[in-house]
Amino acid sequence: MRRKVLTLATLLSLLPAVASAQSAGAGAAGAAVRLSLADAVRQAAATSPTVAISKLQVMQAEGRVREERASLLPSVTGTAGWLDRSFNLKSMGLNLSFPGVPAFPDLVGPFDTYDARLQVVQSIVDLPSLLRVRAAGSVVEATDAQQDVAAESSAQRAASAYLQAARSRSVVTARQADVALATELVDLAQTQLTAGVGTGIDVTRAKTQLVTAQGLEQVAENQAEQAQIALARTLGIDPATRFTLTDSLTTLDRIAVPTSKPVALAAALNARPELQAVDAAADAAHQSRRAIQSERLPRFDLEADYGMNGPTVGNTIHTGQIAVAVTLPLLDGFRREARLTQQDAAIKQAEIRQGDTRQQVQADVESALLDLKSGEQQVDIARQRLELAEEELQQARDRFASGVAGNIEVIEAQSSLVKARDADIDARFATALARVNLAHAVGATRGIH
């Protein structure tokens, strides 16, 4: 119930964002939807197709519990019918002939019989059915945990897609800056040529750099559009929807995550839904085995019926019966033993998955911590590289403007600046992605804000 209340509250909080996203996607010229990383994560965890399917699977598992519980509840059946029948006494081994008495005819009947009654069957003691209900309940817990796994994975995919969209937007901004710089350098080369201190080759080189920058800008814009489509798909909405991202790579590298290895491992072992899922699956396997074993025990049922019976509808009398039945399984062709063998194998598989999942969780945490540390180091290096590239370009421009050198130095410095900008974007993206992966490793992706 608590999970359902939380899910409902989450859905209600996301209704405005979902509605605006759908309305934007419905029109070709709709306004872009403002979207933060936290909004994307919450929406994906609540409404993505994978999560929706997992919720339906939980409903199926709950339906199986009710189905198994039905064997413990009263079964009530109403019947009504009319029977017209004849009997061949000889076929029944009856020879009703007596000396001095006329022989009975071989054919007796037909007789009309009207019968209407209500039958009730109630289990008194049925341990196998009770254990099957418990096993089905364990399956519900495992399926419910798998729903959390689906929500966590959907949140991670949405966060990664959001980061990719933010990276693409940063690349577009960088390419626009490259085009603006290349345009300035073309004007500078043309000015130098007009002043008689430059050459035609300088202008040609500058124009070549401008054309290259414009081409790269177009590629970046295409990649940004592709990233928007991918983001919409992870949210489960119309791919035509476009977003205005409220977070940038500069702010995304501040995602709060535990950076201490002991703390991160403890949080992961406590919160990762994959661990809860495999534990619940193992418990369900054990419960199923106990249910199979209990099938050797006797079962007690109470049976009763009450109704009306007679040769005509108006000439019926009330009849009924009550009985207690004991069913003791003796031999079923060793089918039960075969099922136990299969269930033992299922239990061992579940135990192997438990151990492997725990090791995978630890590996995820350690890998994410290493990536985060490396990313932070790369951010510092990229920042220094960008500062040096900008300084180098400024010095090359000054030398070219003063006529001390040709613009080949400017072109080289310009290329270095482009690479430095890309390195800075990649380092920030890698760091933010490492933080998202670390949040996923500790089972906290849905809590990103």
Q: Residue 268: is it exposed, middle or buried by C-beta count within 10 angstroms (0-12/13-18/19+)? A: buried
Name the strands in the sheet holding 107-125, side by side, starting at the edge strand that comes first in the sequence. Answer: 75-88, 107-125, 299-310, 317-327
Q: Band of the pLDDT at 23, cuts 50, 70, 90?
A: very low
pLDDT at 103: 64
Average pLDDT value for the chain: 86
The strand ranges marked E within 366-441 are: none
Confidence (pTM): 0.77
What number of other Cβ atoms are within 10 A of residue 76's Cβ?
10
Contacts of 307 (CB under 8 A, 6+ apart): 79, 115, 116, 117, 118, 318, 319, 320
Quote the strand ranges of 33-133, DSSP E: 33-35, 75-88, 107-125
* End-to-end Cα separation, the chain, in angstroms: 26
- Bridge partners for 88 per DSSP: 107
pLDDT at 30: 58
What mean pLDDT do residues 288-312 have?
89
DSSP string for residues in 340-374: HHHHHHHHHHHHHHHHHHHHHHHHHHHHHHHHHHH
The correct answer on CATH 1.20.1600.10 for the domain covering 40-83+108-444 is yes
Cα-Cα-Cα-Cα dihedral of 86, 91, 96, 97, to 10°? Answer: 120
- pLDDT of 104-130, one tens digit each? 677 777 888 898 999 999 988 888 888
- CA distances for 300 relative to 75, 290, 325, 331, angstroms: 14, 19, 6, 18
Per-residue pLDDT tens over the stretch 345-360: 999 999 999 999 999 9
pLDDT bucket at 193, cuts 50 / 70 / 90 = confident
Locate 18 and state its tokens.
Answer: 């979902």
C-alpha to C-alpha distances, 20 to 34, 60, 187, 243, 367, nearest whole angstrom = 9, 32, 45, 11, 38
Quote the pLDDT of residue 11: 41
Tens digits of residue pLDDT in 95-107: 666 676 666 677 7
- The secondary structure element, H or E, covering residue 167 is helix 127-194
